[in-house]
Amino acid sequence: MTFDEARAQFPVLERYAYLNAGTFGPMSHAVAGAIAAEQQRALEEGRINRAVFLRYLEDRPRVRERFAQLLGVPVESIALTTSTSEGCNVVLNGLDLGPGDEVVTTDSEHFGLIGPLAVSPATVRVARIRDLPAADANETILAEVGPRTKLIALSEVLWVTGHRLPWRELRDATGVPVLVDGAQSAGAIPVDASEADFYTVSAQKWLCGPDLTGALSVRDPDSLRLAQPSYLSQREYDLAEATFEPHEGADRFDTHFTPLSVTAGLLAAFDLHPEWRFERAAEASARCRALLAERAEVVTEPGHANLVAFRAADPEATVVRLAENGVIVRALPGTGLVRASCGWWTSDEDLDRLVAALG
Ligand SMILES: Cc1ncc(COP(=O)(O)O)c(C=O)c1O
């Protein structure tokens, strides 16, 4: 697939410099078409029948397989979820942490992780890394780990600064299980989740999938209690006894019946990505950072991932002004920062438009 062919999948790029995949990836013809075709079929043939149900039962494992390949884990480790945040909730609920336990996190996490941590009975210890050089994160997080630490919960790529965190090194150094928020890594940079105890991702961002799609990798499904069974959790159940046998793998943590149309859209999304996606996204991110650094204070250090955050006197006003000039970025509330997301589809012209609009 050439660069031009890859871009042509996303009609929005004909009009806008769409630099907001950290929120939602651009919508493609293929994904929108697969969703629409399934909805049309439901209209004409009825929402469900035996043949459609059997097809669904085949498609669901295909989606699971694609997530497993993406994350470099066995398919038995994958649960299908609606979002990164839901994956965090599945883990925090299932770990049964108590008041004497501690969880270590950072001051730069998304609410999708912070919310589940905040309602857990464990004490949350927050490593203050936001204003430090990225290289100091490891030591600063380690300093919060103690004998009561039951979990280290943090992002692979921070949504505010775009910096990568050394979760593997932290796990190796402490032996403490890690919950990795992969919302800004899956599909953006190469991911190997095989050493993570828990790794949770979204598909609506860098994978350009439909809304409300994601997965959770659980390395050892027996290490986590199934706190909220869905219909899909059981292998068999006994109505008379009101009991059930869960699936053996992490599919016991599947949270819902993904809609048929969304399943079709997800399968289409996994086929969008060219081989060269990570190299191209890294190039675009580096160029974006360099161009912005000539005009603004860029807080993202070089060589991390695909988010580039820069300071603006009035971030909301900057976002509005850029949108008027055909450039879509977002403000990060409470930080004074604007964030540009660079994907494998981002062209040099998109970035030139960004800096021209900044003035
Ligand atoms: C680092 C991070 N974690 C979690 C989330 C929430 O993702 P989801 O809506 O899939 O739960 C986001 C979304 O922006 C994010 O950037």
List every span in the chain annotated with CATH 3.90.1150.10. 3-27+275-358
Q: What angle do CA 256, 254, 203 make, to 5 degrees?
A: 80
Reference 157, options 285, 293, 277, 331; nearest CA is: 285
Question: What is the structure's pLDDT at 275?
Answer: 97
How would you label 223-256 residue by residue, b for 16+ Cβ within 10 Å and e otherwise?
ebebeeeeebbbeeeeeeeeebebbebbbbbbbe
> Which residue among 81, 84, 156, 266 is best mutated to probe the pocket of ligand 1, counting the most ligand atoms within 8 A of its Cβ?
84
Ligand 1 pocket residue status of 85, Cβ below 6 Å: yes
Ligand 1 pocket residue status of 89, Cβ below 6 Å: no
Question: What is the structure's pLDDT at 43?
Answer: 97
Q: Which residue's alpha carbon is at the smallest distance from atom 14 of ligand 1?
A: 23
Q: SS3 sequence, 145-160? A: CCCCEEEEEEECECCC
Per-residue pLDDT of the chain (359 residues), as tens digits, is 999 999 999 999 999 999 999 999 999 999 999 999 999 999 999 999 999 999 999 999 999 999 999 999 999 999 999 999 999 999 999 999 999 999 999 999 999 999 999 999 999 999 999 999 999 999 999 999 999 999 999 999 999 999 999 999 999 999 999 999 999 999 999 999 999 999 999 999 999 999 999 999 999 999 999 999 999 999 999 999 999 999 999 999 999 999 999 999 999 999 999 999 999 999 999 999 999 999 999 999 999 999 999 999 999 999 999 999 999 999 999 999 999 999 999 999 999 999 999 98
Is residue 261 a contact partner of residue 38, using CB atoms and an 8 Å limit? yes
Question: According to the CATH classification, is domain 43-270 in 3.50.50.60?
Answer: no
Distances (CA, A) of 227 to 4, 76, 89, 200, 359: 47, 19, 10, 17, 52
Ligand 1 pocket residue status of 110, Cβ below 6 Å: yes
> Which residue among 20, 91, 110 is best mutated to probe the pocket of ligand 1, counting the most ligand atoms within 8 A of its Cβ?
110
pTM, to two decimals = 0.98
Q: Which atom of ligand 1 is nearest to the CA of 214?
A: 10
Is residue 215 a contact partner of residue 201, using CB atoms and an 8 Å limit? yes
Reference 253, options 277, 222, 274; nearest CA is: 222
Question: In whole angstroms, what is the distance from residue 56 CA to residue 99 CA?
Answer: 43
Question: In whole angstroms, what is the distance from residue 190 CA to residue 282 CA?
Answer: 11
Six token digits for residue 85: 């945040």
DSSP H or E segment with residue 214: strand 214-218
Residue 300's CB is within 10 A of a number of other CB atoms, namely 26
Q: Which atom of ligand 1 is nearest to the CA of 85?
A: 11
**Residue tagged 């949504």 (tokens):** 159
Question: In whole angstroms, what is the distance from residue 19 CA to residue 108 CA?
Answer: 21
Going from the Cα of 241 to the center of ligand 1, the distance in angstroms, rounded, reads 39
Beta-carbon contacts of 287 under 8 Å, excluding residues fewer than 6 positions away, are: 342, 348, 351
Question: What is the structure's pLDDT at 121?
Answer: 97
The CATH superfamily assigned to 3-27+275-358 is: Aspartate Aminotransferase, domain 1 (3.90.1150.10)
Going from the Cα of 47 to the center of ligand 1, the distance in angstroms, rounded, reads 31
Question: In whole angstroms, what is the distance from residue 200 CA to residue 80 CA?
Answer: 10
> Which residue among 20, 85, 90 is best mutated to probe the pocket of ligand 1, counting the most ligand atoms within 8 A of its Cβ?
85
Question: What is the structure's pLDDT at 119?
Answer: 97
Q: DSSP states of 186-213 as a string?
A: BTTB----TT-SEEEEESSSTT---SS-
